[in-house]
Amino acid sequence: MPAATETIAAIATPPGFGGVGIVRISGPGVPDLARALLGQLPSPRHAHYARFRGDDGVALDEGLALYFPAPNSFTGEHVLELQGHGGPVVLDLVLARALALGARLARPGEFSERAFLNGKLDLAQAEAVADIIASGSAAAARAAMASLQGDFSRQVEVLTEQVITLRVHIEAAIDFPEEEVDFLADAELFRQLDALRASVANLRVNAGQGRVLRDGYTVVIAGPPNAGKSSLLNALSGEETAIVSAQAGTTRDVLRTHIAIDGLPLHVIDTAGLHASGDAVEQEGIRRARAAVNSADRVLLMLDHSTQPQAALPQPADLLGMHDLPPDLKVTVLYNKIDLTQAAPGLWDVPGEAPYLGLSVATGEGLDALRDHLKACAGYSAGSGVFSARRRHLDALDHAAAHLEAADARLRQERAGELAAEELRLVQAALGEITGAFTSDDLLGRIFSSFCIGK
């Protein structure tokens, strides 16, 4: 990539008041800017106490100045960090002085983008920088740090090398068709292909857990009025988040809360009771409930076991009053108030299109089983050392798996080496999208525009 010709600057600490505020500057103009702003160029990688001066020589602020000459910096360019007092006015004064000296205001994520373009980070590592900042739990922070340190990228690189080895094998067979040995029928070739498919599938599972850690798992509590939905929300969150009343229709809007179960971040949504209603406000609440159901990772369809017998085993679509459910919607039927019916808590071993789980929100029976069930549904296991991942990473791995399946079919069924080699090329391209080996300017723009300014 060509070297950047512009010097960029931004406030790198959050808005508001604090003990310390940081202005970050990166680019080829940093040495001259530092001399004008500080009176000298600080020694590399040493913290210097300095006054940050305006154009009239009067101090705007004072604090620590750190200079990182290229290429030994976060961005790979000359970088100057000014650590002064954390007030918005004084930080704006220092930033304005840097802009007056020739820097321009950085775009969101531009420092990380330059680190990627200068080869200091690959794309998955650069995304992990934003994921660390946005971590919603300790487990998510650890997973993001693992990605930043290259755990995810190294696994992708190992797969890429395996793909290249297969491509070499197949393309050699194509280039030397006069050889008596049929290399495309070699058992070792199919063994390597099977191993590669298994490795991609395993990485997809781990990346799926990393995506859940990053984005959270959305659980919608739905069902008829007075089944205990709001009580369940309060029990899971440990707070009186929702109003609980014996009067039907208490919840008329969508209530959201964020909790963690053994490090798994959950977005739990309580909804209005699904039933026929002539009340305009309640009808809007029911409409919003159905919209929430359509976007859920898991729907907890809650029923009152004292009035809805287990023997009926109704279908979730009938209970939800929705016959246009997404085909991949995951539903768990919860039978509440088992303390009134003496039913067993936990998952029930009964046939049906959805799992059935008995619990009592009033007594707490079955709540631990529900928590374990949600972790299993999300594919989450605490302490597995997973890395953070994004939806686009999962899509790339899905595309790689699909092209591997196609390559396998081309070889086993058709002995079409040229077509198999093209499928493997597409596998390599899909894996390359994860680390940025193959990417587009539009993709980079979408990724880095979601970052903080100053990062």
Annotated binding site for (6S)-5-formyl-5,6,7,8-tetrahydrofolate: 24, 81, 120, 455
**Phi, psi (degrees; rounded to nearest 5) at 197:** -60, -40
- Cα–Cα distance list, 77 to 12, 21, 68, 69, 126 (Å): 17, 22, 8, 7, 16
Site of tokens 């597995």: 384
**Dihedral (C-alpha) 107, 113, 118, 123: value to the nearest 10 degrees?**
180
Could you count the other beta carbons within 10 Å of the beta carbon of residue 203?
23
Question: Which residues participate in the annotated binding site for GTP?
Answer: 226-231, 245-251, 270-273
Give yes or no for a contact between 66 and 83, defined as CB atoms under 8 angstroms apart: yes
What is the 8-class DSSP label of residue 439?
Answer: -
Question: Which residues participate in the annotated binding site?
Answer: 24, 81, 120, 226-231, 245-251, 270-273, 455
For residue 61, give the amino acid letter.
Answer: D
Rounded distance between C-alpha atoms, residue 277 and residue 152, angstroms: 51
Burial class (CB in 10 A: 0-12, 13-18, 19+), 302: buried
For residue 220, give the amino acid letter.
Answer: V
Strand pairing category for 104-105 and 264-270? unpaired
Residue 243 token pair: 């109003």
| Run of H or E residues at 18 | strand 18-26
Question: Which residues participate in the annotated binding site for Mg(2+)?
Answer: 230, 251
| Run of H or E residues at 267 | strand 264-270
**Phi, psi (degrees; rounded to nearest 5) at 128:** -65, -25
